[in-house]
């Protein structure tokens, strides 16, 4: 493409297309990240807890509300549905490769948390950790 003076000109259309695609990608992934955390789960305070630097890409974050409801990525599951989901994940990626983060509400019964841990153990997943708030606010 040449400008009126005969000098080469740069066609910006492909670059603008790429920029718009990147914007769409980041908006979509940011929305997915928000769905990981259930706003109805109130975490307990753990002053001496270890901070997570970077999450593993296969990390499964399980939210357990105070009434025992289970959600993953904004989707509610029964305990049997959670078990099937984790079996599928373990079969596809290997249980030793899947970290699980349990976000248990501070009012949730221990039996609800234990049931999630038992499912992980049953499908061969051993990297289980718990989410908590580092600083009380």
> Could you list the residue range(s) of the whole structural domain that residue 121 is in?
60-130
pLDDT at site 36: 67
pLDDT at site 29: 60
List the CATH number of the domain containing 69.
3.30.420.270
pTM recorded for the entire structure: 0.69
Is residue 14, in this structure, part of any structural domain at all?
no
Q: What is the pLDDT along the chain (137 residues), one digit of tens a residue?
A: 555 666 777 888 888 888 878 777 666 665 555 556 777 787 777 776 777 677 778 888 899 999 999 998 888 899 999 999 999 989 888 878 889 999 989 899 999 999 999 999 999 999 999 888 877 65
Give the residue ranges of DSSP H helices in 37-109: 79-93
Whether residue 41 contacts residue 103, with contact meaning beta carbons closer than 8 Å, is answered with: yes
Is residue 9, in this structure, part of any structural domain at all?
no
Is residue 31, in this structure, part of any structural domain at all?
no
- The tally of domains found in the chain comes to 1
Whether residue 85 contacts residue 46, with contact meaning beta carbons closer than 8 Å, is answered with: no
pLDDT at site 35: 58
Is residue 41, in this structure, part of any structural domain at all?
no
Structure tokens at 10: 């740069």
Is residue 51, in this structure, part of any structural domain at all?
no
Is residue 104, in this structure, part of any structural domain at all?
yes
């Amino acid at each position: 493409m040449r400008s009126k003076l005969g000098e080469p000109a740069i066609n910006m259309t492909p670059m603008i297309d790429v920029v718009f695609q990147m914007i769409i990608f980041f908006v979509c992934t940011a929305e997915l990240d928000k769905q990981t955390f259930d706003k109805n789960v109130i975490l307990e305070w753990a002053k001496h807890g270890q901070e997570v630097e970077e999450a593993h890409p296969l990390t499964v974050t399980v939210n357990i509300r105070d009434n025992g409801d289970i959600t993953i990525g904004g989707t509610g599951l029964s305990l049997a549905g959670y078990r099937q989901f984790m079996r599928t994940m373990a079969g596809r990626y290997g249980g030793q490769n899947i970290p699980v983060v349990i976000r248990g509400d501070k009012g949730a019964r221990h039996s609800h948390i234990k049931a999630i841990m038992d499912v992980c153990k049953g499908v061969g997943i051993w990297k289980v950790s718990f989410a908590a708030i580092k600083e009380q606010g």
